[in-house]
Amino acid sequence: MSKRIAILTSGGDAPGMNAAIRAVFRCAKMRDPHHEIVLFKNGFRGLAGRLEANMDVNVQRAELRGILNRGGTSIGTGRVEELLPVPEHHPDAEARNKARRAFLDVASVNLYQLGIDGLVVIGGDGSFSGARAIADAYRQRFDRPLRVVGIPGTIDNDIWGTDYTIGFDTALANTVDAIRKIRDTVESHQRAIILEVMGNTSGWIALSAGIAAGASVILLPEFAEHLDPNSVVNRCIAALRGDYRYFIVVMAEGVTKTAKDPHLVKHIAQAIETNPEIARILGHRMSVRHNVIGHLARGGTPSAFDNVLAGRFGHGAVQAILGEVDIPQGVDDVAVGLQGRNIVFMPLSEVIAHSPRLISPHDELYHLSNNLTVQENQPF
pLDDT of residue 93 exceeding 90: no
Asked whether residue 65 is assigned to any structural domain, the reply reads yes
Asked whether residue 364 is assigned to any structural domain, the reply reads no
DSSP string over 231-287 = HHHHHHHHHHHTT-S-EEEEEETTHHHHHT-TTHHHHHHHHHHT-HHHHHHHSSPPP
Any idea what the CATH number is for the domain that residue 108 is in?
3.40.50.450
Same domain, 73 and 88: yes
Number of structural domains in the chain: 2
Model confidence pLDDT, tens digit, residues 11-21: 999 999 999 99
Asked whether residue 82 is assigned to any structural domain, the reply reads yes
Same domain, 283 and 331: no
pLDDT of residue 225 exceeding 90: no
- What lies within 8 Å, CB to CB, of 115 at 6+ separation is 4
Asked whether residue 379 is assigned to any structural domain, the reply reads no
Same domain, 174 and 271: yes
Check residue 61 and give its pLDDT: 86
Q: What pTM was computed for the model?
A: 0.95
pLDDT bin (cut points 50, 70, 90) of residue 195 is: very high
Same domain, 100 and 240: no
Same domain, 183 and 243: yes
pLDDT of residue 297 exceeding 90: yes
Same domain, 42 and 67: yes
Check residue 51 and give its pLDDT: 87
Same domain, 133 and 199: no
Same domain, 71 and 214: no
CA distance 134 to 35: 23
Same domain, 326 and 186: no
Distance of CA 208 to the CA centre of its chain: 14
Quick count: other Cβ atoms within 10 Å of Cβ 350?
A: 14
Any idea what the CATH number is for the domain that residue 226 is in?
3.40.50.460
CA distance 39 to 121: 11
Asked whether residue 362 is assigned to any structural domain, the reply reads no
Asked whether residue 131 is assigned to any structural domain, the reply reads yes
Active site annotation includes 13 = no
Asked whether residue 185 is assigned to any structural domain, the reply reads yes
Find out whether the peptide bond into 356 is cis, omega within 30 degrees of 0: yes
Same domain, 160 and 308: yes
Check residue 85 and give its pLDDT: 80
Residue type, 272: I
Q: Which of 299, 320, 339 is the last residue of a domain?
A: 299
CA distance 2 to 31: 10
DSSP string over 85-104 = PPPTT-TTHHHHHHHHHHHH
Same domain, 269 and 324: no
CA distance 338 to 3: 26
- Could you report how far apart the first and last alpha carbons of the chain are, in Å? 68
Distance of CA 339 to the CA centre of its chain: 17
Asked whether residue 223 is assigned to any structural domain, the reply reads yes
pLDDT of residue 132 exceeding 90: yes
Structural domain boundaries enclosing 217: 170-299
pLDDT of residue 37 exceeding 90: yes
Q: 58-67, 280-289, 301-310, 365-374: lowest mean pLDDT where?
A: 58-67
Mean pLDDT of the chain: 95
Of 164, 158, 196, the residue nearest 351 (C-alpha): 158
- What lies within 8 Å, CB to CB, of 244 at 6+ separation is 216, 374
Of 117, 156, 169, 333, catalytic? 156
Phi, psi of 254 (to 5 degrees): -75, -5
Q: Which of 263, 281, 299 is the last residue of a domain?
A: 299
Same domain, 268 and 316: no
